[in-house]
Amino acid sequence: MRVTTITGARSWRYDLAGRNRDFKLFSIPADCVKACGVQKNTKRLVSIQLSSGRHLKGYCTITSGTETYIPAEFRDEFSKAEWFECEIMGDELAESPSLRWAAF
């Protein structure tokens, strides 16, 4: 059973164990949408930490269903992970996505 756990007003953990569908769209919990003022069809700065230790940071597309859209080049890493944590950083919007692997 997949579980989404809110870890802060702007962050959550998404359990990927047993996920049997693509790794493209992930719902943002309603409480985080409200707390962060997330609007549909925008780009928001996020920090995503995978259980594997990989870390993504940058502006991520928020869909019309207030889901994070994960570009194809990152999905294989999501499929290998047991979970990921995501945090919406700040309130700024961007014109285009810029999600990249972060070096830590």
What residues form DSSP beta bridges with 22? Answer: none
Rounded to the nearest 5 degrees, what angle is found at the Cα of 42, between the Cα atoms of 56 and 47? 20
Nearest to 58 by CA among 25, 7, 103, 15: 103
Reported as a single tens digit per residue, the pLDDT across 11-53 is 999 999 888 788 999 999 999 999 999 999 999 999 999 999 9
Domain spanning 4-95: which CATH class is it, in words?
A: mainly beta
Reported as a single tens digit per residue, the pLDDT across 66-97 is 999 999 999 999 999 999 999 999 999 999 99
Contact at 8 Å (CB) between 83 and 65?
no
